């Protein structure tokens, strides 16, 4: 195989944080390192020189294309590889094998790591022949002049993968990228309002959570971009903005039209599933996610990593968990973890579904070790993160097993959920708390019947004086009556109740249950939801039935009572309560629950009646149109 020489060409400024990893990944794959610096005042240049790079200074003039062209003008080798300092080359890539067919340029796959943990994949030309007339244009989001027909270029999809961290929130914040890019893009759009420039301006607004502004630019860009390679992602972002802005009907209209035009672009089905899920149209959401799995991952266009695999399975698991089908949720979590064991939401879904099925902690550990064996530090790190987030008593087991040190706040939470209450109290007595920890501290205070830690929580809890006094009495186990409570107070009481179930503190829970039984209806409804979610359908039902006569006109109350009947397979009773809930308010999710009940009863006449009603009342429901 003929050896082709390669020049790595980069433009950099203040990249000491990333540059070494970048150059380390590529040093044995290229013959020349060209580093063009635009004004670094950190260790960037010394790092470049350590790798033997040829360094050049270029005075920055707000034009990425000019800087990029200056860098490739310095290259002496057969081919040019373009990278940014916050990228690195996958260790499995063989550039010589890629260049074996000697094409003029190659599409390279780039995985953009995001703060959410979900990768965004797209393709770009990053590897091309030197000295054949290729050059960059565009002050920002610069691209090569491959459309110049006089060049008669050949191309291929190269088996090359680059990783990029520049889209992470902390990286954007560090470098002030949004302000810089927005200024350049606004100037570029003013100079040349092309579809591509408008699309990039929309992306910039969206990355800064300015969704209304982004939507406006996407709409302008679409009419100019219908035949462009980026149109799929333009439509995806447009639909996502509509979703985020609450314009769901329009979002569904656009996503369905997009699916007609691009029936194999998995991301559209995934987004449709998300929109339907947020509307509690679970049947349509479920069908959309299964379609994602049927189609699979997108191979060439820009895409969310996992939409055709682990993301779709995890989304299905969330639907099943919401429905109370813990077994199916567990199965979906396993499928997601098989495909990506480091996808933390799937590991959390796995843990949540196990906990809800009342499996003992030791059995959960055995199960966990089979699906997520700890083979290296990365495995352990991900497992510790999830166990910390879900507040599992298993965290202590792994801390002891691997002799790990964690912060005192993590240790304090760990002791609390390992039922080492005194040890937890001693830690929290001497350290400050963060905003996300205050409910745990109130829980600990309730269990230990002490208000010594409550002062530390006051800055995070907006309760009035009366509610603080009630909370103090509650902590000391006194008989109290809760009248109409604030939303924050209800949130705290329900948090305590759920964690008492989790900890198995029956006496404390029964006291709280008696307090809530004589309280505001909002508390009863929320506690009943918690009981139902955690497998105590009968207890939830008893709590609701005790005050049914006073609340028979409350739609949420009646529907929840129906849910408790359904969970206990009291199907005719469930059907009766769902009918009553629908009389109170025509609400799509209730119709869907009624349909599931009729399915279990195998009532074909009833099923047809409900389907016809859904068709008449809820035109956004797609599943009734196709069945």
CB 60 within 8 A of CB 46: no
The helix or strand, by DSSP H or E, that contains position 38, with its residue range, turns out to be none
Query: What mean pLDDT comes out for the span 265-289?
Result: 98
pLDDT at 287: 98
pLDDT at 448: 97
Round the average pLDDT of the chain to a whole number and report it.
93
Q: Looking at 15-24, 366-375, 437-446, 532-541, which range is the least confident one?
A: 366-375
| Tally of residues, the chain | 627
pLDDT at 19: 97
Query: What mean pLDDT comes out for the span 271-289?
Result: 98
pLDDT at 167: 65
Q: What percent of the chain has pLDDT over 70?
A: 98
Statement: residue 172 has pLDDT above 80: no
Name the fold adopted by 466-626: 1.25.40
pLDDT at 201: 96
pLDDT at 113: 87
Confidence of residue 363 (pLDDT cuts 50, 70, 90): confident
Enter the tokens of residue 262: 């691009």
**6-172 with 466-626: one CATH topology?**
no
Per-residue pLDDT tens for 544-553? 999 999 999 9
Per-residue pLDDT tens for 475-524? 999 988 777 778 899 899 999 999 999 999 999 999 999 999 888 888 99
Per-residue pLDDT tens for 600-621? 999 999 999 999 999 999 999 9
pLDDT at 169: 56
Query: What mean pLDDT comes out for the span 51-64?
Result: 96
Confidence of residue 355 (pLDDT cuts 50, 70, 90): confident
CB 82 within 8 A of CB 9: yes
Confidence of residue 627 (pLDDT cuts 50, 70, 90): low
Helices (H), 302-393: 310-323, 326-339, 344-356, 361-371, 377-389
Name the fold adopted by 6-172: Spore Coat Polysaccharide Biosynthesis Protein SpsA; Chain A (3.90.550)
pLDDT at 171: 52
The domain limits of the chain are 6-172, 466-626
Residue 366: other Cβ atoms inside 10 A: 10
CA distance 461 to 441: 12
Statement: residue 64 has pLDDT above 90: yes
Per-residue pLDDT tens for 454-467? 989 988 988 989 99
SS3 state at 205 = helix
Statement: residue 359 has pLDDT above 70: yes
Statement: residue 173 has pLDDT above 60: no
Per-residue pLDDT tens for 235-258? 999 999 999 999 999 999 999 999
| DSSP code, position 485 | P
Query: What mean pLDDT comes out for the span 70-90?
Result: 98
Closest CA to 235 of 286, 269, 184, 210: 269
Query: Which residues 6+ apart lie within 8 Å of 459 measured at CB?
Result: none
Confidence of residue 626 (pLDDT cuts 50, 70, 90): confident
Confidence of residue 95 (pLDDT cuts 50, 70, 90): very high
Q: What percent of the chain has pLDDT over 90?
A: 83
Enter the tokens of residue 20: 């070494």
pLDDT at 291: 98
| DSSP code, position 519 | S
């Amino acid at each position: 195989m003929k050896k082709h020489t390669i020049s790595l060409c980069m433009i950099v400024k203040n990249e000491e944080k990333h540059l070494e990893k970048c150059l380390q990944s590529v040093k044995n794959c290229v013959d020349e390192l060209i580093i063009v610096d635009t004004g670094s005042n950190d260790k960037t240049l010394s790092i470049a020189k350590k790798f033997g790079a040829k360094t050049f200074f270029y005075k920055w003039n707000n034009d990425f294309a000019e800087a990029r062209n200056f860098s490739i003008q310095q290259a002496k080798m057969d081919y040019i590889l373009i990278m940014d300092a916050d990228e690195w080359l996958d260790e499995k890539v063989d550039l010589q094998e890629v260049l074996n067919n000697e094409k003029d340029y190659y599409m390279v796959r780039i995985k953009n790591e995001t703060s959410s943990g979900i990768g965004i994949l797209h393709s770009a030309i990053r590897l091309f022949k030197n000295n054949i007339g290729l050059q960059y244009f565009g002050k920002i989001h610069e691209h090569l002049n491959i459309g110049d027909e006089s060049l008669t270029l050949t191309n291929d999809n190269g088996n090359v993968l680059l990783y990029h961290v520049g889209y992470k929130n902390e990286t954007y914040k560090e470098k002030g990228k949004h302000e810089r890019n927005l200024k350049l893009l606004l100037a570029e759009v003013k100079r040349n309002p092309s579809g591509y420039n408008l699309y990039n301006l929309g992306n910039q607004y969206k990355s800064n959570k300015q969704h209304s502004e982004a939507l406006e630019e996407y709409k302008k860009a679409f009419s100019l971009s219908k035949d462009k390679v980026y149109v799929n992602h333009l439509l995806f972002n447009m639909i996502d903005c509509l979703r985020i802005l609450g314009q769901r009907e329009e979002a569904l209209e656009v996503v369905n039209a997009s699916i007609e035009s691009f029936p194999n672009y998995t991301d559209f089905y995934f987004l449709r599933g998300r929109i339907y899920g947020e509307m509690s149209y679970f049947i349509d959401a479920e069908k959309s996610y299964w379609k994602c799995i049927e189609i699979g991952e997108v191979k060439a266009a820009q895409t969310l990593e996992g939409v055709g695999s682990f993301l779709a399975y995890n989304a299905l698991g969330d639907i099943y968990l919401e429905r109370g089908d813990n077994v199916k949720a567990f199965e979906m979590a396993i499928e997601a973890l098989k495909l990506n064991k480091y996808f933390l939401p799937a590991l959390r879904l796995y843990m949540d579904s196990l906990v809800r099925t009342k499996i003992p902690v030791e059995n959960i550990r055995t199960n966990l070790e089979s699906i997520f064996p700890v083979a290296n530090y990365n495995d352990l790190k991900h497992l510790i993160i999830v166990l910390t987030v879900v507040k599992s008593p298993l965290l202590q087991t792994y801390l002891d097993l691997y002799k790990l040190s964690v912060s005192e706040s993590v240790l304090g939470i760990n002791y609390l959920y390992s039922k080492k209450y005194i040890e937890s109290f001693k830690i929290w007595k001497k350290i400050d708390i963060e905003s996300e920890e205050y409910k745990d501290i109130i829980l600990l205070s309730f269990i230990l019947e002490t208000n010594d830690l409550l002062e530390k929580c006051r800055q995070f809890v907006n309760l009035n004086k009366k509610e603080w006094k009630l909370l103090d009495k509650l902590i000391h186990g006194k008989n109290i009556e809760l009248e109409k409570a604030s939303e924050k107070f209800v949130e705290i009481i329900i948090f305590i109740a759920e964690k008492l179930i989790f900890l198995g503190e029956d006496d404390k829970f029964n006291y709280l249950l008696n307090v809530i039984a004589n309280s505001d209806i909002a508390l009863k409804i929320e506690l009943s939801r918690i009981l139902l979610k955690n497998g105590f359908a009968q207890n939830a039902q008893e709590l609701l039935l005790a005050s049914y006569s006073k609340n028979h006109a409350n739609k949420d109350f009646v529907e929840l009572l129906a849910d408790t009947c359904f969970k206990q397979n009291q199907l005719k009773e469930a059907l009766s309560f769902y009918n009553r809930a629908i009389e109170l308010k025509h609400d799509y999710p209730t119709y869907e629950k009624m349909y599931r009940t009729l399915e279990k009863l195998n009532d074909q006449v009833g099923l047809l009646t409900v389907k016809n009603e859904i068709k008449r009342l809820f035109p956004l429901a797609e599943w009734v149109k196709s069945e």
